[in-house]
């Protein structure tokens, strides 16, 4: 097994003391010899960290002792080397920028579909009510090019702030169908599903995003790899980094 644990985690939760929390989280991370990025906004926290497994899990456990972070869950994967160069804690207006202030997952989440339920729907070709399932990729176009669900709708957006306009343009094509919005780890598709539901579309978010699907189901109905924002570049459905997949293929 590779020695470096990688986690991605986010939680929409009220944070009114971002400035005071920032140095605390950074000092704890540096003491644990972790590297990566933590984003703090009034709407929540978004984390991409890597380090020694016990130290990283201990860091998350300590964070969860605070009631506002108790529900934080993390998706795990492994790498042979540390994929981050620094430890950064940044203050942001949003933990994922959408520029749409009425979308507030902190107040109410959109309904989610579990990976195994989604796989069953895709296997049978419809949801449990017999309706067509539309997989909607909410990521940027260059990420989609690494891999996506078979037959997924891709609006070729360049950044997530373009999503609301694209959704308005393509709304009629989604009406009357069960739309499952998905992204890398769940954060973008959570906001996307709320936006679509506000516009009258029956939208769900894929719980845990693509990485959660890989972890729970594997690569069924998915083609290619999942782009990740670190030096690993992309993960295969077995959550191994792109370089490992290439090495395995070359050795056959």
Residues labelled catalytic? 183
Instruction: Give CA–CA dist 118/133, Å, rounded.
Output: 9
Instruction: Give CA–CA dist 58/64, Å, rounded.
Output: 10
- Strand-pair partners of 79: 4
Instruction: Give CA–CA dist 252/245, Å, rounded.
Output: 11
Instruction: Give CA–CA dist 134/180, Å, rounded.
Output: 6
Q: Where are the alpha helices (DSSP H) in the chain?
A: 18-31, 53-64, 115-124, 141-144, 163-169, 171-174, 187-198, 209-216, 242-250
By DSSP bridging, strand 35-41 and strand 87-91 are: parallel
- Strand-pair partners of 177: none
In degrees, rounded to 5, the angle at the alpha carbon of residue 110 between the alpha carbons of residues 104 and 113 is: 150
């Amino acid at each position: 097994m590779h020695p470096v644990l990688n986690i991605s985690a986010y939680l929409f939760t009220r944070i009114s003391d971002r400035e005071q929390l920032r140095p605390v989280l950074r000092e704890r991370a540096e003491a644990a010899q972790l590297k990566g990025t933590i984003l703090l906004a009034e709407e929540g926290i978004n984390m991409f960290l890597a380090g020694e497994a016990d130290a990283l899990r201990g860091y998350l456990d300590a964070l969860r002792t605070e009631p506002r972070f108790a529900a934080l869950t993390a998706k795990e994967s492994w790498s042979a080397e540390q994929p981050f160069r620094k430890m950064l804690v940044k203050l942001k207006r949003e933990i994922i920028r959408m520029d749409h202030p009425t979308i507030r997952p902190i107040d109410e989440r959109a309904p989610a579909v579990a990976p195994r339920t989604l796989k069953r729907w895709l296997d049978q070709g419809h949801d449990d009510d017999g309706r067509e399932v539309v997989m909607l990729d909410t990521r940027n176009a260059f990420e989609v090019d690494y891999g996506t669900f078979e037959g997924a709708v891709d609006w070729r957006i360049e950044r997530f702030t373009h999503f609301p306009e694209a959704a308005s343009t393509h709304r009629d094509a989604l009406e009357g169908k069960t739309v499952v919005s998905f992204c890398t780890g769940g954060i973008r598709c959570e906001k996307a599903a709320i936006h679509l539901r506000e516009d009258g579309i029956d939208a769900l978010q894929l719980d845990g995003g693509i990485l959660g699907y890989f972890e729970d189901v594997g690569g069924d109905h998915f083609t290619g790899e999942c782009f990740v924002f670190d030096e690993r570049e992309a993960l295969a459905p077995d959550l191994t980094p792109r370089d490992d997949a290439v090495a395995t293929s070359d050795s056959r």
